[in-house]
Amino acid sequence: MRIDLAGWSSSGLRTPDIEIDLLDRNGEPAKVALIQMPNGTGKTTTLELIKATLSNEAASWTPDQVRRLRRRHDTRAEGQFIVKLLVNGRPLTFELTLDFENGVARYRTTNVGSGGIVTGWAPSPEVHQFLSPEFLRLFIFDGEFADELFDPKKAEADRAIDALCQLYLLGEVSQFAEEEWERRSKASGPKTDSGLQRYLNEQTALIKRRDELQKMDSHASREIGIHSKEIADLEAKINQRLASMKSTQAEHATALNALGEAERDLLAATSAAMTAIRMPLAMNAAFGASLVELKENLDLLRLPENTSAQFFEELINEAECICGREMTSGARHEITTRSKRYLDADESGTINALKSDIDKFTASQGEDAPDEKLAVQLRSLGVARRAQHKAEQLVRTLKQQLIDEGDEQLKAWEAALDEHKSKHAEFRAVIDSIAGEGHPDDKPIFSLKLIERKLKEVSAKIAEITETVTLRKQTDILKDILFRAATIARGQIRDELVVEANQRIKEILINDPLEISKIDRSLRLAGQDGASVGQTLSVGYTFLMSVLNRGNNNFPLVVDSPANPIDGDVRENIAALIPSLCTQFVGFTINTERPGFVLPLEKAAGTVKFLTMFRKTDGTARLLPGLPVTGVVQTESAVLVEDRDYFMSFGLKDEKEA
Amino acid sequence: MAMFRLRTDAEAWFSEIEKTQHVRSKFDLYYFCLMAGFASGRSSETHITGAGSKEFIDYFIDDYKSASTLLIGLLVIAEMKYKGIDVTEKTSVRGLFKDIVDAKNGNNQLTEHGMKRMNAYASGGFEYLAQKRDTKPYSIEEFLRDYVALIGDALTPA
C-alpha cells in the first residue's frame, strides 16, 4: 500500500485560513515539499490537526479541547480542517468540523470509488489500521517521538518495527482467534452451570473496564501533550521576559549558561556513576574483600576438587571398588548416594569461573580501585547537582525580583505554569497507574495488565464450564505460536536494522562515532546512556527511515523542524539521504534551517516544492509589496507563496517580525 | 524455570527514578535491592511468590553479564553467613554451591533454590532501603549518592 499526503486546508481555526496543495504540476505528490512557516504561524497546531483529522481522535475530545482550537476574536461558530490523501493513487479525504458552540467534533469522509461521501470517520478497512494515533506518529514525526525511541521503558522502536514491517498482522490473527473462542463459548450448549453466568458477567465487566481504561489512557496522553506544550510555551515566554528586562538580562544569561553547563555535567556524572555502580566491586571495597576471601578459602579447601561426581558414577560400573574390594550392590548404593555430595564437572566449571572472575576483577591494574573511582564520580555528581540548584535558584530569584517590581504578566504566567505542571503530573499519574501492575484487590481496577490477567483467569473458567477447554487450549497454542513467530521475526529484523541504520549513521554522523548497539524495545547506543538533541534526532530519523524503507508499505514522512537542532555537516548528510529513504517528504521549516539542509535536499531529490506561508499582521504588512508576481495565494488571514527564490530569500528579519 | 522477581511495592517505590534515562531496565531496580540485601544480610521470602512480586526476566541482562558470577559469589557469601557455615567446612561449602549453582542452567546458572534466595535478598534489601530512607527516591542523582552511603552503612558494623 502507498499513502501520500496530497494536501490540507484550514478555515476558522487557530491555524491560518489556507489551502496547501502538495501535488506537482503532473498531479503527482511532490517527492519533497518544504513549507517555511515563521514561528507563531501554527506549525505545531497544523501537525496536531493533521493527526487528529486522519485518526478520528477528535471524536473523543472534550468541549475545552475543541474550543481551544478556535481563533481568537473569530466569531464563526465552526472551524474546519480537511486532509487529502492518495491511497494507491486514489483520493481519500477526511473533513474535521469543530463546532465551537456545542464543543463537539464531527467527521466526514470522502472515498472516491468506494462509498462516496460518508458522515463520520470511515476509511476502508485496509487503510483503517494505518490511521491510528500510534501509527500516525511514525510518519508524522517530532522531536518528542525521537526521544521516546531511546526510552527503554517505552517500546517505541519495537512498535515502529511491528507497524512498518506488518508484524501487527500476527497480533490481529491472535485477536481473531480469541474473539472466535469467546463467540463459541457464549454459543455453547445449555448454560446449566450456575457459575457460568457469573463468569460471563465478570468477563463483560472486565472488557468494559478495559475499554474505559484505554479511553482514559488515551485522554490522559492527549492532556499531557496539551499541558507539555503549554508548559514549554510558558517557560519560553518567561525566559524571554527575563532575558529582555534590563534589570535581569545579564544575570539571566549567566544563570542560563551556568544551568546548561550544570545539566550537561550532571548528565555525564550520573551516567558514569550508574555505569560504575553496575559493578558490585565499585559500590564498596568490602564486597571485593569478601569475594577475595571466598576465593582464598575455596583454594584452601581445594574446591572444586579434582575428583568429580562423574568419577563415582563410572566407578559403580566396575567389578571392584578403587580400594580393591568387590563392588557389591550395597557398595554401589552407598557410592551413588555419596557421589551426589561431590560437584559435577559443570558445577566445578562454574566455581572455577567464579574464582577466575574474582582474580580478574580484583586484580590491581595500576589504576584507582573501582570504589575509589566511584567515590570521585559521586563527588562530581554532587558538585554538578549543587551548581544546578544554584543556577535554578538564581533564575527563581530573578523571576521573583521582576514580580516584586510589579510585573503582573510574569506573575500570571508563573501561576499558569504551576497550574499546567500540576495537571501534567495528575495525568502522568493516571498513565502510570494504567501501565502499572495493580493489586488483585483493587476496586475499581486501574491497571490494564491486571485486567488482562483477570480476563485470562475468567476465560479459563468459562472454557471449563462451557466444555470448550480443548478449543481454549488450541487457541492458546495458536496465540503462543503467533507470539513466538512475531518475537523471532522482530529479533531478526532488529539485527538487520541495526546493521542498516549504523551504515547510514556512519554516512551521516561522519565526525561523531555514534552507533546503535542493539534494539531492545528501544534504541540502545553503544557505550553511552544519553545523547544530545541533535544526535537523538539524527539517529531517530535514520532508524525510522530505515524501517520505512524496509517495509512493504509506503508512507509520507512529515517532520516538524527537520534540521533545527542538528549541526551543519550532519544536516547536509541527512538531507542527502532523505529522498532515497521515503516516497514523500514534507518538512515544516523555519528560515534558520535552510543553511546546509535545503540545497543538499534539493540536489538529492531533483525537484522540491517550495512553499512559504506567513500570517497577515501589522508586522508583516510591509512584506506584501515584495511578493512575487505569480504563485501567491492570499486569504484574509494568511499569505502562501509557492516560489523557490522567495523561499530562499525569506530573511531572518522578515521571519522574526512575521 | 525460576525467574528474577521484583516486589511490586519496590517497583512503586522506585517509580520516579525509573522514568529517568539512567535506569535502563527493571534489572537496575532489582540490583539496587539485591546489593542492599547482600550488604545488610537481610533476606525475606514473604514477598517473593504470588501477587506481592512479579517475575520480569530469567537471565542476567547485558549490563550485568560481566558481574553475574560475582553476584552468585556474593549470594554464596551471604548464604554462608545466613546458615552459619564455617568457611573451613568443606562438605557444607560444597553442599551450598550444589544448592545454589546449576551450571546447566545457561540462563542464570542458578538452581530454583538459588534463584529463590537471590530474590529473597532483593526483597530484604528493598525493606532495608525503604526503612532507611524517609521517602521514596525522586531524583536519581540524589538517590545514587544516598544509596552508596546506605550500602556503606550496612557493611560497617555498628
Model confidence over A32-69: pLDDT tens digits? 999 999 877 888 889 989 999 999 889 888 888 899 89
pLDDT at residue A241 in the model: 84
CB contact under 8 A, A273 and B152: no
Cβ-based contacts of A357 with chain B (< 8 Å): 69-70, 73
Nearest chain A Cα distance for residue B26, angstroms? 9
Say if B103 is an interface residue toward chain A (CB within 8 Å).
yes
DSSP letters, B87-127, are: TT-HHHHHHHHHHHB-TT-TTTSB-HHHHHHHHHHHHHHHH
Nearest beta carbon to residue B101 from set A274, A347, A385: A347
CA distance A309 to A307: 7
Of all residues in chain B, the one with the smallest CA distance to A148 is B21
Cβ-based contacts of A152 with chain B (< 8 Å): 24-25
Nearest chain B Cα distance for residue A342, angstroms? 7
CA distance A211 to A205: 10
pLDDT at residue A121 in the model: 92
Nearest beta carbon to residue B94 from set A269, A343, A382: A343
Of all residues in chain B, the one with the smallest CA distance to A289 is B74
Cβ-based contacts of B22 with chain A (< 8 Å): 270-271, 274, 529
Of all residues in chain A, the one with the smallest CA distance to B91 is A341
CA distance A418 to A133: 29
Of all residues in chain B, the one with the smallest CA distance to A517 is B62
Residues 6+ apart with CB under 8 A from A541: A141, A146, A559, A562, A574
User: Backbone dihedral region of A166: left (phi > 0), alpha (psi from -120 to 50 degrees) or beta?
Assistant: left
Of all residues in chain B, the one with the smallest CA distance to A531 is B21
| Higher pLDDT pick, B158 / A10 | A10
Mean pLDDT of chain A: 84
For A552, other C-beta atoms within 10 Å of its C-beta total 8
Nearest chain A Cα distance for residue B22, angstroms? 6
CB contact under 8 A, A286 and B155: yes
The number of residues making up chain A comes to: 658
CA distance A346 to A348: 5
The number of residues making up chain B comes to: 158
Q: Which residues of chain A have pLDDT under 70?
A: 113-115, 143-144, 153, 188-194, 306-310, 340-341, 364-367, 510-513, 527-534, 551, 564-565, 567-569, 652-658
Cβ-based contacts of A277 with chain B (< 8 Å): 144, 147-148
CB contact under 8 A, A281 and B70: yes
Round to the nearest angstrom and report the end-to-end CA distance of chain B. 39
Say if B157 is an interface residue toward chain A (CB within 8 Å).
no
Cβ-based contacts of B147 with chain A (< 8 Å): 277
Instruction: Determine the distance from the C-alpha atom of residue A400 to the mean position of all C-alpha atoms in its chain, rounded to a whole number.
Output: 36
* ipTM for the complex shown: 0.95
Cβ-based contacts of A354 with chain B (< 8 Å): 69-70, 72-73
pLDDT at residue A418 in the model: 92
CA distance A502 to A539: 9
Q: Which helix (H) or strand (E) holds A477?
A: helix A469-508
User: Backbone dihedral region of A310: left (phi > 0), alpha (psi from -120 to 50 degrees) or beta?
Assistant: alpha
CB contact under 8 A, B15 and A432: yes
Of all residues in chain B, the one with the smallest CA distance to A523 is B24
pLDDT at residue A366 in the model: 61
For the question of whether the overall pTM of this predicted structure is more than 0.95, the answer is no
DSSP 8-class letter at B156: S
CB contact under 8 A, A347 and B12: no
Cβ-based contacts of B74 with chain A (< 8 Å): 280, 287, 290-291
Say if B70 is an interface residue toward chain A (CB within 8 Å).
yes
Angle at A115 (CA atoms; ends A114, A118), nearest 5 degrees: 145
Model confidence over B118-139: pLDDT tens digits? 999 999 999 999 999 989 999 9
